[in-house]
Structure 1
């Protein structure tokens, strides 16, 4: 059987609702609290300014949105300057199991290289063993660190 190529397009302002809908699916599956207002604020900032990064929409065989990825940019002395963060990666269950996750990572890595980024980081929840296996098999390293977060906004409570 011939391998299937993962189809995608870059999200635009017109895709806000589709991106938020995919985020809601991903967050439910990955046990992440979905805050609609915070998600909308983030999506709008991402889509408004390409310096923040980009969102890709994965497409199924009927060219319908069936997942997404978000790559953002950061700066770290430890990382040697600008680096990319694979902030979110979601493929609908219908797109899983045929190597499309590896293709998604390769597409994101290539797009990061085109931005002149030399390092790509990501985070994976401890309970998501399948995703962690994929990332490790693609050459990502577990640096043995914990990610800690604190909200600085008086309007948002500290929660995962």
Structure 2
């Protein structure tokens, strides 16, 4: 099995990264709302204090990405990392790279001082959930609920 590498995405990587984000959203049935997603990605690329976008590389070619964001929870002991998105292009699947990508995300988070990584997975994506569980993540048997705040109506999906 070949290995993938990772590098932190830079603002100049935005066009390549947003193209993969669009592909991921179509595939995972996530509404792509450019007015929300694109500024969010720019913020992540421009402000390292928010987290990082990691480009996944095989033979120096980008084959996917991971977005990681900083969050805070008393229950989790303070700052933790949200593994927000993990995407491998169709040609990069079935090679064990998803598991490697999770390990690379874990290493980045640990290197930044996080003690916990959390993630969410859509109910319809049983294959992704199985990968996460096999990599040591646990199902907390909780649902994520969302409330759009004033001025944000229509920007968040349920």
TM score, norm. by length of structure 1: 0.93
Structure 1 residue 8, shift from structure 2 partner: 2.6
The partner residue of 1:149 within 143, 146, 149 is: 146
Equivalence map 1:3-42=2 (5 Å): 3-42=1-40
Question: Residue 153 of structure 1: CA displacement?
Answer: 4.2
Residues 6 and 104, structure 2, Cα contact 8 Å, conserved in 1: no
Counterpart among 127, 134, 138 of residue 137 in structure 1: 134
CA distance 1:153–1:26, change in 2 (3 Å): farther
- Tell me the C-alpha RMSD between the 2 structures: 1.2
Q: TM-score, normalised by structure 2?
A: 0.94
Larger mean Cα displacement after TM superposition, 117-126 or 6-15: 6-15
Measured in 1, the distance between the counterparts of 2:104 and 2:136 equals 15
Alignment of 1:1-160 (within 5 A): 3-61=1-59, 63-157=60-154, 158-160=156-158
Distance 1:159 1:136 in 2: 25
Gaps of 5+ in 2: none
Distance 1:95 1:19 in 2: 16
Residues 114-153 of structure 1, C-alpha deviations (whole Å, 9 max, x = no match): 0110000000000000000000011100010000111114
Q: How far apart in 2 are the matches of 1:55 and 1:10?
A: 6
Instruction: Compute the displacement of 1:154 (Å).
Output: 2.1
